[in-house]
Structure 1
Amino acid sequence: MIDRRNLLLAAAASLGSAAFAQTAPPDVPAKRRVAGLPEPAETIDLWPNGAPGMPAKPLVETVDERSREDSLTDRAVYGITRPRLVVFRPRLPNGSAVLVTPGGGYKWVVIDKEGYEIGRWLAARGFTVFVLFYRLPGDGWQAGPDVALSDAQRAMRIIRARAQDYALLPERIAAMGFSAGGHLCADLSTRWAAKTYAPVDAADTLSARPDVSAPIYPVQSMRLPTAHPGSRELLIGKGASAALEDAHSPDHNVTAQTPPTFLVHAEDDPTVPVENSLLYRAALKKAGVPVETHLFTHGGHGFGLRRAMGKPAEAWPDLFLAWARTQGIG
């Protein structure tokens, strides 16, 4: 156990040390910067000898800037070959961490609206945040539909292995994911013990189970018509069997060991039906897993922080904080 005094001493020491020489965060070269939004610089590569099961066809990591506004960035990264964590350190750590898995329909991973924005917001409230840029199942990796889960499992173990470096308590690590990243969050929460890769170092002796989980407007079911068709096709293939659908639908994999869960969804979501969250909630309740659910009449899909402003859904981050405290996080 790490007491608060040692947490603060470790934080002071780590803040004064240089970041590891790792792969830089994904970015658009020579892109203009938004005033008041500093870009993160610290990263952790997940795989010291390279990610396992490289596709036969070489991938090139590419970042697209999709925003047409000078005051906002909206980047998406494709072809990830060096999965990594981008770190947001708080000024005064509260001992808790959040692993964030952004969405992107398993076609890409968004950088800003479901990654860096929530990273900055949580770090301002004392959390150490690790935004995960995970490999994509449609890119031909040998792990197939388990490739993103491999990265998420490895990420949780690395965070625990480096808990003292970041002034963290290893039993206070949350997972939060959005849309397809919400599927990854729920997949990690239900299949954290699945053997999806060969151990590479001592970190892999540690548990990959999140202490709490927050899938936000998650892709969840792989069964049509509830499933998000694009995510389903890229994850398990258009002609997937019912058995394969169920194997990758978190509501079919909930156990009593699934962590306490916080769910958010908009009833009017036109992209990922709210039934995804309702099915997952029902499975959690059946297994006796504590679950808090917030359904908003209006919000659509992909609201994150920026698109929730001015709507009732903008309350969700504060609701998460209040709930997380009841679970000993934060």
Structure 2
Amino acid sequence: MTIDRRTAMLATLGAAIAGKVAAQTAPPTVKTGGLPIILSEPSETIDLWPKDPPGRPTTLPVEISNERSKDPARNDRAVVGVSVPRLAVFRPAKPNGASLIAFPGGGYIRMAIDKEGYEVARLLAAKGFTVFVLFYRLPGEGWADRANVPIQDAQRAMRLVRANAGKYGLDPARVATMGFSAGGHLCADLAARFATKTYEPVDAADQLSARPMIAAPIYPVVSMAQSLAHAGSRKALLGDDPTPEAIRAHSPDRNIAADTPPCFLCAAADDATVPPDNTLMLHAALRAAKVPVELHMFDQGGHGFGLHGVIGKPASAWPDLFLAWAKTKGWF
């Protein structure tokens, strides 16, 4: 994908303030249940906001990471209480100039940071991609404008990756997104509403575009309509009694436009947690808007399969299918 003159100039402008926003945030308190940390952890982070994030509550949540794994060979931590939203950076040995921001899922009440973040990041980094795993704020933890809290962090993350493109040897045009479950909702929401103003600009990076080059919602929550929504995600994001306007604003399938980036969709027909019709509705909306889209609906896989939940099944091919599709879109 070529970069127009304005994009290049704004990326240079963003780079001028990138050093001011880069930071190292201490890892969260980890309860491992006796398990060690199995694989290498990211040693580098970028804090999203130079001061407090938008809508700071009087009492900040406390970040905690709880180990859920019973497998001594794998970690499966659930993170809650993010008060310093940030990007955890996975640098490849030989960067190819393309990058991706990963949004872990967890029903908007937690984040599955290993299964739907670090594991995917390690896989893609081994193939030359620079991957940023987003620790985003959870909407039900006291922040103002709760429904826009995740997309505020997603928009800001996209802009900061572009602002830091020079530091990481990246093409600021070739930034992709991938999200899982509720993180898939965030991925689709950003693809649909990347230009919606959800916060007041804080520095030069906010002049950069928040539009991904391509987006990959994986087994995503999409609709906030009661008949189809994942009830837990809807309640966490919109509260107990959302208005019709809020439901529409936060249902990505209702906000697809011609400038929505190309999308790769993947889900399993036997998903008993998030109805696969969510994926099908998003696919139909993308096609109606003539947005390029690829869909893979696997017979088996259930929900939350990540990389390991489909080992030995046809759905295990999804990462390779994504890469083959992404290459046709010029991502690498």
Q: Would you say same fold, with TM above 0.5?
A: yes
Corresponding residue for residue 53 of structure 2? 51
Residue among 95, 106, 110 paired with 1:93: 95
Corresponding position: 1:279 with 2:286: no
Q: Note the C-alpha offset of 1:71.
A: 1.1
Q: State the alpha-carbon separation in 2 of the partners of residues 292 and 177 from structure 1.
A: 15
Preserved CA contact (<8 Å) 1:20 1:42: no
Corresponding residue for residue 291 of structure 2? 289
Matches within 5 A, 1:140-151: 140-151=142-153
Residue among 131, 134, 140 paired with 1:132: 134
Residue among 11, 33, 36 paired with 2:36: 33
Corresponding residue for residue 187 of structure 1? 189
Q: State the alpha-carbon separation in 2 of the partners of residues 112 and 43 from structure 1.
A: 16
Residue among 234, 237, 246 paired with 1:244: 246
Q: Note the C-alpha offset of 1:241.
A: 2.3
1:20-69 per-residue CA deviation (whole Å, 9 max, x = no partner) reads 5421343516864355x211111100001121211234311111111122
Q: State the alpha-carbon separation in 2 of the partners of residues 23 and 75 from structure 1.
A: 18
Structure 1 unaligned runs (5+)? 3-18
Preserved CA contact (<8 Å) 1:222 1:248: yes
2:323 partner letter = L
Q: State the alpha-carbon separation in 2 of the partners of residues 48 and 240 from structure 1.
A: 32
1:208-252 per-residue CA deviation (whole Å, 9 max, x = no partner) reads 000000000000000122100000001112211222211100000
Change (3 A) 1:21 1:222: closer
Q: State the alpha-carbon separation in 2 of the partners of residues 70 and 324 from structure 1.
A: 34
Q: State the alpha-carbon separation in 2 of the partners of residues 205 and 244 from structure 1.
A: 27
1:227-280 per-residue CA deviation (whole Å, 9 max, x = no partner) reads 000000011122112222111000000000100000001000000011001100
Preserved CA contact (<8 Å) 1:266 1:295: yes
1:287-311 per-residue CA deviation (whole Å, 9 max, x = no partner) reads 0100000000000000000111111
Preserved CA contact (<8 Å) 2:31 2:67: no
Preserved CA contact (<8 Å) 1:34 1:70: no
Matches within 5 A, 1:110-121: 110-121=112-123
Q: State the alpha-carbon separation in 1 of the partners of residues 28 and 86 from structure 2.
A: 10
Residue among 85, 88, 95 paired with 1:83: 85
Preserved CA contact (<8 Å) 1:266 1:298: yes
Preserved CA contact (<8 Å) 2:22 2:47: no
2:297 partner letter = L
Which region of structure 1 is more displaced relative to structure 2, 136-145 or 226-235?
Answer: 136-145
Corresponding residue for residue 232 of structure 1? 234
Classify the secondary structure of the residue corresponding to 2:297.
Answer: strand
Residue among 302, 305, 323 paired with 2:304: 302
Classify the secondary structure of the residue corresponding to 1:139.
Answer: coil
Matches within 5 A, 1:59-74: 59-74=61-76
Q: How many percent of aligned residue pairs carry the same amino acid?
A: 59
Preserved CA contact (<8 Å) 2:31 2:66: no
Residue among 175, 178, 183 paired with 2:177: 175
Q: Note the C-alpha offset of 1:140.
A: 1.7
Matched pairs, number:
313
Classify the secondary structure of the residue corresponding to 1:150.
Answer: helix
2:265 partner letter = L
Give the TM-score, by structure 2 length: 0.91
Classify the secondary structure of the residue corresponding to 1:63.
Answer: strand
Q: State the alpha-carbon separation in 2 of the partners of residues 103 and 21 from structure 1.
A: 24
Q: Note the C-alpha offset of 1:111.
A: 1.1
1:150-206 per-residue CA deviation (whole Å, 9 max, x = no partner) reads 000000000001111111101111010000000000000000011111111110000
Corresponding residue for residue 318 of structure 1? 320
Q: State the alpha-carbon separation in 1 of the partners of residues 95 and 282 from structure 2.
A: 32
Classify the secondary structure of the residue corresponding to 1:308.
Answer: coil
Q: Note the C-alpha offset of 1:114.
A: 0.2
1:74-95 per-residue CA deviation (whole Å, 9 max, x = no partner) reads 1011111000000000000111
Q: State the alpha-carbon separation in 2 of the partners of residues 248 and 273 from structure 1.
A: 17
Classify the secondary structure of the residue corresponding to 1:137.
Answer: coil
Preserved CA contact (<8 Å) 2:23 2:47: no
Preserved CA contact (<8 Å) 1:25 1:86: no
